[in-house]
Structure 1
Amino acid sequence: MRLMKNTQLSDQINTQLNNSNQGMTVFAPTDNAFSTLKAGTLNSLSDQQKVQLLQFHVLPIYLTTSQFQTVSNPLRTQAGDSGSQLNITTSGNSVNITTGVVDTPVSNTLYTDGTLAVYQVEKVLLPMSLFGPPSPAPAPGPLKKKKAGSDDDTPTTDDGSASADASGGVVFGGHLHGIYVGVIGIIAAFYL
Structure 2
Amino acid sequence: MATNFQPSLILLSLLLFITLTTTLAQAPAPGPPGPTNITKILEKAGQFTTLIRLMKTTQLADQIDTQLNNSNQGMTVFAPTDNAFSSLKPGTLNSLSDQQKVSLLQFHVVPNYLTTSQLQTVSNPLRTQAGDTASNKFPLNVTTSGNQVNVSTGVVDTTVSNSLYTDGTLAVYQVDKVLLPMSLFGPASPAPAPEPVKKKKSGAEADAPAKDDGSASVDASGAVVFGGGLGGLVVVFVTMLWL
TM category, shorter: 0.7 to 0.9
Runs of 4+ in 1 over 6 A off after TM superposition: none
Provide TM-score, normalisation by structure 2. Answer: 0.59
Deviations for 1:132-183, whole angstroms, at most 9, x for unmatched residues? 111222345xxxxxxxxxxxxxxxxxxxx32xxxxxxxx2xx2x416x55xx
Unpaired runs of at least 5, structure 2: 1-51, 204-243
What's the Cα RMSD here?
1.6
The sequence identity of aligned pairs, in percent, is 80
Residues 1:84 and 2:147 aligned together: no
- Unaligned runs of 5+ residues in structure 1 are 141-160, 163-170, 182-192
**Secondary structure of the residue that 2:178 maps to in structure 1?**
coil
Distance 2:55 2:183 in 1: 20
CA radius of gyration, larger in:
2
**Corresponding residue number in structure 2 for 1:72:** 123
Q: 1:18 aligns with which of 63, 69, 72?
A: 69
Alpha-carbon deviations, 1:78-126, whole Å to 9, x = none?
Answer: 0012211201111111010000000001000111110000000010000
More strand by share: 1
Task: Give the distance between the partners of 1:62 and 1:70, measured in 2 at CA.
Answer: 13
SS in structure 2 at match of 1:85 = coil
Specify the alignment match of 1:41 in structure 2.
92
**Counterpart Cα distance in 1 of 2:76 and 2:148:** 17
Q: What CA distance in whole angstroms lies between the structure 2 residues aligned with 1:66 and 1:77? A: 18
**Aligned-partner Cα distance in 1 for 2:116–2:187:** 32
Task: Give the one of 195, 200, 204 matched to 1:177.
Answer: 200
Mapped to 1, the partners of 2:93 and 2:148 lie a distance apart of: 29
Count the aligned residue pairs.
150
Pick from 95, 113, 119: which aligns with 1:62? 113
SS at match of 1:84: coil
Shift in Å, 1:68: 1.3
- Structure 2 residue 102 is the aligned partner of structure 1 residue 51: yes
Structure with the greater relative contact order (CA < 8 A, sep ≥ 6): 1 or 2?
Answer: 1
